[in-house]
Structure 1
Amino acid sequence: MTITERPATTTAHPLDPMTAEEVNAVRAALEQAGLLGEHVRFTFVALEEPDKDSVLAHEPGQAVDRRFRAVLLDLATGVSHDTVVSATRSTVDSMRRLDPAVDGQPPIIDTEFELVEQIVNADERWTGALRRRGIDPATVRAAPLSAGVYDEPGERGRRIIRSLGFQQFHDADHPWAHPVDGLCAHIDLTRREVLRVVDHREFPVPQEPGNFDDPEVTGPPRTSLKPIEITQPEGPSFTVDGHRVRWENWDLRIGFNEREGLTLHQVSFHERPVLHRASIAEMVVPYADPSPVRFWQNYFDCGEYMFARYTNSLELGCDCLGEIHYFDTVVADDFGRPRTIRNGICMHEEDYGVLWKHTDVFTGSRETRRQRRLVISFFTTVGNYDYGFYWYFSLDGTIQLECKATGITFTSAYPEEGHKHASQVAPGLGAPFHQHLFCARLDVAVDGRHNAVEEVEAERVPVSDGNPHGNAFRAKRTRLRTEAEAARLADNAKARTWHIVNTESRNRYGDNVAYVLRPEGQPVMLADDAASVHARGTFATKHLWVTPYHPEQRYPAGDLVNQHPGGAGLPSWTRADRDVDGQDIVVWHTFGLTHFPRPEDWPVMPVDRAGFTLTPQGFFDRNPTLDVPPSSNGHCHPS
């Protein structure tokens, strides 16, 4: 198991990830413009990617104007500005003061997280409620949680978070095991004061520890597992040039930013384009507990928290096995200083079982080929949950995205009378029902820029003269011609898929070449249509949306998600009902998990998975892997 060296990038490409030097240049330009000060913090800094035409027109060695978007927040006044800065020219190209009531608030930042316990412990209503429960306030960790948008007194226009408490009995004790339920603080971050304490009900604090890293909880480690070694004696099959990766017939670029994390660009197979850009552009975690202290729980981890700021530094042998190539990633901290996350992105090859196989009764031939795939991944931790995002590229042209959800379930009390909206995972400890709903933004380019989406599903054929025995069924194909027609739900009972076709490119059979989006078809958002989270996370109410490409339409819940009243992003854009038939289009796909926690998810949750698959459909005239050689280990064929 080895780590290959990271070659230096000598020439900037328009899509190269942000560097530490560029972060410093952005901060210097903003300081020169007088936009920084003692209390001003950076809530977001990322590459302002050029529009598609500019990227496609770029030639190697051509000068690149590197521009970045930076959202600034004055902690003392709550005033925020949305800016675009050229690190190349050291200029502020645009600046707009944000209106929180209309635009929403900037993301929540680490500096504010660190203030929460100080704020609540200075409030007698909070500390008094804890003491009445027999709890020392100094032992309670106050979780800083995004507030959502509700008609709560005095909150409009203010920068709000809400806080639930968890007791920690010693420094190594995981407080998630000990929720102080029935108590919640509503906090104004700008004024640094508690607006309201909701003291709904006193529950016993669960006492059983949840310390999954303590041998007293886990018991001695088993000794029965034998080592597994994954080796590639001749090295990996991929090549890396800066952030451009070539592997077998795949060619793509790797990007990264603190809001979406890993991004993929200019993905082609056999020198034919498939995707211009792909990312997880948003996610929402709506909870099902309607109690007065928890009804507001729904977290937009990308838009509210910039979740890729918390990308893990991956470790060989723990997070990744085999011949690994790592990419470092760079984010900006609250002060606009660069922070390098070592080994933030992992790339390797892995065996994936049988690619194709046949034993022929007539000729006696017996042939087997092994599937292999390129894996590009990153992991991030947001509060109690950990998310891994794995992009897989296979020898046969298949692309898969898999999200791995693990970590610790959010906890509550579990009363003796039971709980309609939570599972009991330990004595007196509940885990509320919730969903993890992700939205993939797929800027498709299937064999070019003239694409459309067709919905294809199985259709039964009734008995008739043409089907006298009733055994027939067929593929029903419907072209989704406008944005309204293309807002769709999956239907596994009909094997519903969506074919992304090139309207101008045909294969030798006269069919439009295509890639097929195969959804898992799990539930979309289950909150009522009247719920606040429904308005704010409308993207998660459909499995499919299709829009014409627009360089400014990047995030399905809108640019600023924190405390936005709703309606931004996809529901706003698609009201125009634009033409998406044979256009340069973006496909948005919602997928995810509906989690009814189980005892086996405690005290740490085994990985649960969600994702989707893209497969070529008539993109080739025959199996594109006929040239894959047999395995060279000498054991494929009988002697």
Structure 2
Amino acid sequence: MAPDTNTIPGYTIFREGDYDSASAAAFIPDRVPHPLDIPDQLSIIEIPAAAQLIREWASPKLLKFNCITLREPTKSEYVAYKEGHASRPDRRAFAIVIEQQGSGQISEVVVNLTKSKVERWKEVKDVMPTLTLEDLDIMERISRKDSRVIEACRGLGITDMSKVFVDGWAIGVDERWGFERRLQQGLAYYRNHELDNQYAHPLDFTVIADTEREEVLSVDIRYVNGERTAIPLTEHHYLPNFIGDKYKHDTLKPIDITQPQGVSFQVRGNELTWAGYKMHIGFNYREGIVISDVRMHDPYEDRDRALFNRISVVEMVVPYGCPETPHHKKHAFDLGEYGSGYMTNSLKLGCDCKGAIHYMDGVLCTGKGEAAVIKNAICIHEEDNGLLYKHTDYRDGTVVSARDRKLIISQIITAANYEYGFYHTFTLDGTYKLEVKLTGMLNTYCMHPSEQAASSPYGTEVAPAIIAQNHQHIFSLRVDPEIDGHNNTVLQSDAVVSKDPLGSSENYYGNGFYCEKTPLRTALEGATNYNHETSRSWDIINPNRLNKVSKKPVAFKIVNNACPALLAKPGSVVWKRAAFARKSLWVLPYKDYELYPAGDYVCQSTGDENHPDNLTIQDWANRNESIENADIVCYIQFGLTHFPRTEDFPIMPVEPVSVMLRASNFFQRNPALWVPPSALCVDSISRNAFPACCSGGESKNLPKL
């Protein structure tokens, strides 16, 4: 029996028995198991095995599986195993299940796969889990058949419902319904033909539906002066079929990336090694890429040193800034409401990735508990990164110049209209950088002839009768640091002017300034914002280890100046739901399985504090526990405020935004001095040599290093 590739676009689904076949073997990596391959994702064998154990436990109830994912061991278990003090932790799965009859009760389940038993079953109340791709598909299917939707379309002159397309979105909060229904909102568009751009033809109504009952609850039509808004029918294309002879094929010459001796990294199981770094690469339905157990070799101490226990993107929010109906309900939490893993693209060489690529597949589950594989979900490759360091001695012409290189671990997701590329990057000087590239389609809406976008502050008319609203993209990067040891502290670093007055003996010329270091001692102190005036950054230090040269604690510095303030008013729906986005940084004591700052259950969440089954980052901070010289975790918010441009339509050029953590007094000197220089040249008169970097020749009579 061959795997079914047709149920969910982009997924390869394995039906019962497939995982024993030769076809399934192609999706199981040919590898030697590594003893530290614990944080890996579940395999196509483990997912249906977990589903079967859960069904047997719940029988005769019928269940739908919202997720089946790895239940990572507790940190203490993992550390004890790594250090040789304990046996390998049992392999466990975590699942969220929905009863398909009666109440629609939602439960959390922990399955011990090593012992083949259900260890924990917990019912949760007044929460709604992630909307999967299968759930989102329901919206369009039922909308096309609903009499109220058909009537709304007829009012616009649409009689062919196959030309109506409805993007399913999480709804946030709708006062008409509570937690008795699992809700979606549908944003409606029109396509005149198969390849038409639907976002050029937005319709003037939205659909509200019950995902579980597959029932349309309401069709909300927006009237302007008592009138409907006609469909903007002008076509705005971006596909090659329509660009045609407007492409300039001869202007750009090909760029080829070759590595004739192969790549410099190695992948064994899910352990990745490169240029002194070692780390593990995992993947799950909610966070997508998870990077764990990051270490780097110190060439001066000749040992591997711990940097980070775990890194992942755990949430993002896209609040729209137009208060008018229906835009007030548009604030997407793309990770918490839909799952980064579920939305991941299957990457294509030459399109999404270029060069010598190593791919990893993503393994997820379907609502039936089957294993689903996203081929090439993760791309790993190297790129040249420009100068690593350079110096020219103007006296004798000596030039030393080394090239930097970066290792990139990436995925791309499609969240309805938007695409997000996540690029986790490591460079040779001890720097980690997360860059997010935003592209895809603007969320658009139709304008009534009486409306003037130029007089409205809330959006831009990107094409005649088509408006795109102002919005923000705020991401949350969770960093579980392990800076040369388990206990760390965060220092807030501000550039301040010397307090000594102008003309004083201590600051006679008035030019003194220094870095003021403020330790963040409690969780509420650890909730802090960026300050442009003081070029604020934060140092994650190990107060128990001093740099032998600087006599300062070893540290990694958080560099984050792309952190816009959440612009929703305090007390508003999105302000309450996106508590994490109110601060640039939160520092908290580490606790097992506290991961998601907007709550474990984001769909239909209210953001109210102290929800027993859905605590958020504000609840964690309110405990106000010590974060000084402790096992801590940092939530770093970064992003951008997007005022749409006509250049963003019909398809948006990439908009990059990034955050960085880099070694700061961690090493005794530049850790990349081992990198061979690209050119070492001396003046031809004084040293009887010629400049190799300029002439392309080899340097002669060079001084020994």
TM-score higher than 0.5 here?
yes
1:127, distance to aligned residue in structure 2 (A): 2.5
Asked if residue 254 in structure 1 is aligned to residue 293 in structure 2, the reply is no
Aligned to 2:8: none
Q: Return the alpha-carbon distance in structure 1 between the equivalents of residues 237 and 311 of structure 2.
A: 37
Partner of 2:559: 518
- What is the distance in 2 between the residues matched to 1:35 and 1:110? 26
For residues 403-458 of structure 1, give each alpha carbon's deviation from its aligned partner in whole angstroms, at most 9, with x where no partner exists: 11111111112344224311111111111111111101100001111100001111
- 1:1-12 correspondence to structure 2 within 5 Å: 7-11=30-34
1:456 pairs with one of 487, 493, 507: 493
CA shift, 1:199, in A, is: 1.9
Cα distance change, pair 598–219 in 1 and its aligned pair in 2 (3 A) = farther
The correspondence for 1:475, drawn from 511, 515, 521, is: 515
Q: Confirm or deny that 1:187 pairs with 2:209.
A: yes
Aligned residue in 2 for 1:229: 256
* 1:117-128 alignment runs, 5 A limit: 117-128=140-151
- 1:124-273 aligned at under 5 Å gives the runs 124-136=147-159, 138=161, 139-150=163-174, 152-181=175-204, 183-201=205-223, 202-217=228-243, 219-223=245-249, 224-270=251-297, 271-273=304-306
Deviations 1:8-37 (A, max 9, x none): 142562212211111121111112213576
1:500-539 deviation digits (Å, cap 9, x = unpaired): 0001000113210100000023313111112111111100
Distance in 2 separating the partners of 1:343 and 1:406:
20
* Structure 2 counterparts to residues 491-570 of structure 1, below 5 A: 491-508=531-548, 509-566=550-607, 567=609, 568-570=615-617
**2:209 maps to amino acid:** I
Inter-partner Cα distance in structure 1 for 2:692 and 2:379 = 31
Distance in 1 between the 2:476 and 2:208 partners?
29
**1:606 is matched with which residue?**
653
2:45 is aligned with 1:21:
yes
**1:603 partner amino acid:** P
Match in the other structure for 1:357:
390
Query: Match of 2:592, SS?
Result: coil
CA distance in 1, matches of 2:305, 2:137: 49
| Aligned counterpart, 2:635 | 588
CA distance in 1, matches of 2:32, 2:572: 48
Q: State the one-letter code of the partner of 1:20.
A: I
Kept after mapping to 1: 8 A contact 2:317/2:578: yes
Residue 342 of structure 2 corresponds to residue 309 of structure 1: yes
SS of equivalent residue, structure 1 residue 295: helix
**Counterpart check, 1:446 vs 2:486:** no
Contact 1:131 1:137 in 2 (8 A): no
Cα displacement (A) at 1:166: 0.6
1:232 counterpart letter in structure 2: Q
Verify the 8 A CA contact 1:73 1:106 in the aligned structure 2.
Answer: no
Are 2:38 and 1:32 aligned?
A: no
Q: CA deviation at 1:153?
A: 2.4
2:116 — aligned with what? 90
In 2, Cα distance between the equivalents of 1:76 and 1:206? 43
Determine the C-alpha separation between the residues in 1 that align with 2:178 and 2:151. 23
2:693 matched residue in structure 1 = 636
Does the aligned pair in 2 maintain the 1:375–1:391 contact within 8 Å? yes
Q: Report the TM-score, using the length of structure 1 for normalisation.
A: 0.94
Check the 8 A contact 1:442/1:588 in 2, yes or no.
yes
1:366-445 matches, cutoff 5 A: 366-415=399-448, 416-418=451-453, 419-445=456-482
> Match for 2:165: what amino acid?
R
Is the alpha carbon distance of 1:154 and 1:623 closer, same or farther for their aligned partners in structure 2, counting shifts above 3 Å?
closer
Contact 2:417 2:442 in 1 (8 A): yes
Q: What's the TM-score once normalised by structure 2's chain length?
A: 0.86
- Tell me the SS of whatever aligns to 1:331: strand
Q: Which runs of 5+ in 2 are unaligned?
A: 1-27, 298-303, 610-614, 681-690, 698-705
* Greater mean deviation of Cα atoms: 356-365 or 310-319: 356-365
> Which 5+ residue runs of structure 1 have no aligned equivalent?
none
- Secondary structure at the aligned position of 1:176 is classed as helix
Alpha-carbon distance between aligned partners in 1 of 2:693 and 2:675, rounded to the nearest angstrom: 14
Matched, 1:278 2:311: yes
1:490 maps to what in 2? Answer: 530
8 Å CA contact 2:562, 2:640 repeated in 1? no
Query: Which 4+ runs in 1 deviate beyond 4 A?
Result: 35-38, 59-64, 632-635
Give the alignment of 1:60-99 within 5 angstroms. 63-77=88-102, 78-99=104-125
Separation in structure 1 between the aligned mates of residue 598 and residue 129 of structure 2, nearest angstrom:
14
Give the counterpart letter for 2:542 in structure 1: N
Report the AA paired with residue 452 of structure 2: E
The one-letter amino acid of 2:276's match is N
Report the secondary structure of 2:672's partner residue.
coil
Amino acid at match of 1:332: C
Structure 1, residues 136-169: CA drift from partner, whole Å, max 9, x if none?
260221221111124x224353211112211111
Secondary structure, aligned partner of 2:334: coil
The alpha-carbon deviation at position 360 of structure 1 amounts to 1.1
Q: Which residue of 2 aligns with 1:52?
A: 75
CA distance in 2, matches of 1:618, 1:487: 25
Cα deviation digits, residues 54-94 of structure 1 (max 9, x gap): 11222599544111111012344422211111222221111
Please give the secondary structure, in 2, of the residue aligned with 1:20: coil
Superposed CA offset, 1:306-340 (max 9, x none): 13112111111111111111111211112111111
Amino acid at match of 2:512: A
Name the CA distance, whole Å, in 2 between partners of 1:397 and 1:307.
27
Output the amino acid matched with 2:53: A
Question: Cα 1:533–1:35, aligned 2, differ >3 Å: closer, same or farther?
Answer: farther
Shift of 1:126: 3.0
Equivalences, count: 629
What amino acid sits opposite 2:237 in the alignment?
N
Q: 1:305 to 1:218 in 2, by over 3 A?
A: farther
CA deviation after TM superposition for structure 1 residue 375, in Å: 0.9
Q: 1:326 to 1:590 in 2, by over 3 A?
A: same
| 1:368-425 CA-partner distances (Å, limit 9, x unpaired) | 0111111111111111111111111111101110011111111112344224311111
The answer to whether the Cα contact below 8 Å between 2:92 and 2:110 also exists between their aligned partners in 1 is yes
Match of 1:618 in 2: 665
CA RMSD across the alignment: 2.1
Query: Can you list the C-alpha shifts for 1:596-620, whole angstroms capped at 9, x where unaligned?
Result: 1111111111111112011111101
Per-residue CA deviation, residues 224-245 of structure 1 (Å, 9 max, x unaligned), is 2111111111111111111111
Bigger mean CA offset, 121-130 vs 410-419: 121-130
Structure 1 residues 253 and 156: CA distance shift in structure 2, 3 A: closer
- CA pair 464-74 structure 1, distance change in 2 beyond 3 A: farther
Q: Distance in 2 between matches of 1:90 and 1:632?
A: 60
Q: Secondary structure at the match of 2:45?
A: helix
* CA deviation map 1:438-484 (0-9, x unaligned): 10110000111110000111112352402222222111111111111
Residues 492 and 521, structure 1, Cα contact 8 Å, conserved in 2: no
Distance 1:527 1:217 in 2: 39
Counting aligned pairs with the same residue, the percent is 36
Task: Give the counterpart letter for 1:378 in structure 2.
Answer: Q
Are the aligned partners of 2:566 and 2:575 in contact in 1 as well (CA < 8 Å)? Answer: yes
